[in-house]
Structure 1
Amino acid sequence: MARDKSRVLLDVKDLRVSFDTYAGEVQAVRGVSFYVNKGEALAIVGESGCGKSVTAQSTMQLIPMPPGRIKDGSVMFNGKDLTKLTDRQMESVRGSEISMIFQDPMTSLNPTMKVGKQIMEGLIKHQRMSKSEAKKKAIEMLDVVGIPNPDKRVEQYPHEFSGGMRQRAMIAIALACNPKLLIADEPTTALDVTIQAQILDLMKGLQRDFDTSIILITHDLGVVADMAQRVVVMYAGKVIESGTLDEIFYDGQHPYTWGLLNSVPRLDTNAKEKLIPIEGTPPDLFSPPKGCPFAARCDYAMPICREEMPEETFLTEDHFVKCWLQHEMAPNIENPTKIKRGGK
């Protein structure tokens, strides 16, 4: 889905976020840029600690400040730069225009408050509903997300729900005010595979029915293949590759992207292929490397990779990569991933 200014809902440019600790400054997000179109699902992928969640939480000003701080960049949403808004102004955006589904619903839901009341809060605050109207809407939302007996469940507490039902309740809270953008941070991590499939189907249906834009934060490439239209690959606080789903899966150009794809089991072949892990660990973001952050773990690294960060190379209108292998003087390396078009 190509960039069309008239359809861009969220536009993040050169976002830089740091955390000040007793040991020094952690540069968690280092110049991240991406955009989300209206009605589009964008996946942000990468290993744990690469900056995915901090990037998403920073767009909603949900990181604790201090120790966190947004050093630079802009987050344009519907013509407003969210980084310039006060806490009070952001309160009118969160829940009504942008909502977030967090990783662990048990720690995100208030254990002392009935689930129905937690859904009603946003409706009363943002849509000025009466308590009776909000309760009716809460029952309706529980029904929409597939929770049985919603008129009874609305009066229950989070501990009376199963893991899958708690995640559905979180989605009901997030969608109650019909937000334009839904940020889903590892929404299926703690769920078994059958519940995962149900949650993904639910999110796809909501995207289709309400034209909701979705940012999906995950390390699960199977979830990405099922949900996303475009993919942003992050590593060590930077976007190192971005493109459409097909461009990343079938024509990825960064060695880190290749590593992610080669470490995923395949179901479309009978061959007993071993998964290939990415050796090594991500760099220390107290003192990030001056060159490509992946150079120390890359099988194709050249001397310049350790000395200088490569610029963006655009392969198509949507697909760009930051890698020295794109330079005209670099060796020609064939894509080593096993994922081929048509499953062959």
Structure 2
Amino acid sequence: MKKKILEVKDLRINFKTYAGEVKAVRGVSFELFEGETLAIVGESGSGKSVTSNALMKLIPQPPGIYAGGEIRFGGRDLVPLTEKEMMKIRGNDIAMIFQDPMTALNPTMRIGYQITEVLLKHKKIGSRAEAKERAIQLLDQVGIPFPEKRFRSYPHELSGGMRQRVVIAIALAADPKLLIADEPTTALDVTIQAQILELMKEIQKKSNTSIIFITHDLGVVANVADRVAVMYAGQIVEYGTVNDIFYNPKHPYTWGLLGSMPDLNNKSNELLRAIPGSPPNLIDPPIGDAFAPRNEYALAIDYEKEPPMFQISDTHYAKTWLLHPDAPEIPLPVAVARRIEGFEQGGE
């Protein structure tokens, strides 16, 4: 049985603003096991990045507030830890790959120095010469050509894809148990995206690192994840294996995400579908199901009472009243059925 690396229980994160208190993360719970990749997906504003930053205690307080819940890493709750205690964990046990490598790297320092500093701080390396040798090995490991030469480069002298490889090298420097990747391919073109994703899979295979992958792109999820958590309005609304989510989706929001994916095999020139409306204002979250105003299949109870998380199988859960025994049976939307058919035929 795989070892549990991380357990998040009922996590709640609020932000104090001039307009009121934003309830950005509202009772999120999930588990992560050794060598596993969990993808957290959803639109902008769904709470994905706040959740990932909260795991490393990177939420500034104020305006952020850890309003409740636990983040158990290696059996220890991180929420009550001080900044000094967290500094020993960040980079060492948990590392992060940020969305934009240009802002993640210090533009005034050579990339070699930025990697060796991590090694000297977190690893028992006795000299800068030894740290330099290991940094060059890391650059080579992440696929940077001529690593000895690139060791002396500044970030602006590298392409976007190369900069992201450097960020991955820095994240891997201390051999972390958990790697959090916050939309690591968003700023890159499609070809480089594929290379970075392949690199992350190779690294995971070699080191058995656990990965949390934050993305809004379901196409990326299919290629990298073992399990998927679909987030909407600060909550996880569906949770399961990749096969559960892609071949047996149950939440109308997941249907919307799948239905809005471009279908490269569609010859009918049908317009790309979109989910109507916008996410709710989380200063004053709606009563009932937060997705109800955008859900064409919403029931009367969706506007009155928040749905529980229904269990579909040992691995699959969804937070929708459509799974209640008394709910009407809704056929899978045509666009979603077509996408599933495309997956089955290997269209993706």
Question: If the TM-score is normalised by the length of the shorter chain, which range does it land in?
Answer: over 0.9
Alignment of 1:101-112 (within 5 A): 101-112=97-108
Alignment map for 1:27-46 (pairs within 5 Å): 27-46=23-42
Amino acid in the other structure paired with 1:224: V
Task: Determine if contact 1:250/1:339 at 8 Å carries over to the other structure.
Answer: no
Give 1:327 shift.
1.1
Letter in 1 for 2:117: E
Q: Which residue is 1:167 aligned to?
A: 164
1:324 to 2:331 alignment: no
Displacement after TM superposition at 1:59 (Å)? 0.6
Q: Deviations over 1:175-209 (max 9, x none)?
A: 11111111000010010111011000000000101
AA partner of residue 120 (structure 1): T
Amino acid paired to 1:241:
E
Residue of structure 2 equivalent to 1:314: 311
AA aligned opposite 1:70: Y
* Structure 2 equivalent of residue 339 of structure 1: 339
Q: Distance in 1 between the 2:163 and 2:90 partners?
A: 20
1:263 Cα deviation from its structure 2 partner? 0.3
Task: State the 1:271 CA deviation.
Answer: 4.2
The size of the alignment, in residue pairs, is: 340
SS of 2:214's equivalent in the other structure is strand
Identity of aligned residues (%): 58
Q: How does 1:89-108 map to 2 (within 5 A)?
A: 89-108=85-104
Aligned partner of 1:151 in structure 2 is: 148
CA–CA separation in structure 2 for the residues paired with 1:59 and 1:233: 17
Cα distance between partner residues in 1 of 2:286 and 2:229? 21
Q: How far apart are 1:268 and its partner, in Å?
A: 4.4
> 1:50 is matched by which residue type in structure 2?
S
Matched, 1:76 2:76: no
- From 243, 250, 253, the counterpart of 1:253: 250
| 1:46-195 alignment, distance < 5 Å | 46-129=42-125, 130-195=127-192
Whichever residue aligns with residue 243 of structure 1, its letter is G
Asked whether the 8 Å contact 1:254–1:321 carries over to 2, the reply is: yes
Q: Mean Cα displacement is larger for which, 233-242 or 6-15?
A: 6-15
Equivalent residue for 1:215, pick from 198, 202, 212? 212
Cα offset, 1:269, TM superposition: 4.7
What is the rounded CA distance, in whole Å, between the counterparts of 2:265 and 2:35 in structure 1? Answer: 30
How far apart, in 2, do the equivalents of 1:10 and 1:334 lie?
36
Structure 2 residues without counterparts, runs of 5 or longer: none
Cα distance in 2 for partners of 1:33, 1:290 equals 21
Asked if residue 299 in structure 1 is aligned to residue 290 in structure 2, the reply is no
Question: Runs of 4+ in structure 1 displaced over 6 angstroms?
Answer: none
CA–CA separation in structure 2 for the residues paired with 1:8 and 1:315: 22
Distance 2:113 2:86 in 1: 22
CA distance in 1, matches of 2:129, 2:232: 47
| Gapped regions of structure 1 (runs ≥ 5) | none
Q: Cα deviation per residue 1:131-158 (whole Å; 9 max; x = unaligned)?
A: 1111111111011011111111111111
Q: 1:5-20 maps to which residues of 2 (within 5 A)?
A: 7-20=3-16
Structure 1 residues 233-312: aligned runs within 5 Å: 233-312=230-309
CA–CA separation in structure 1 for the residues paired with 2:88 and 2:111: 22
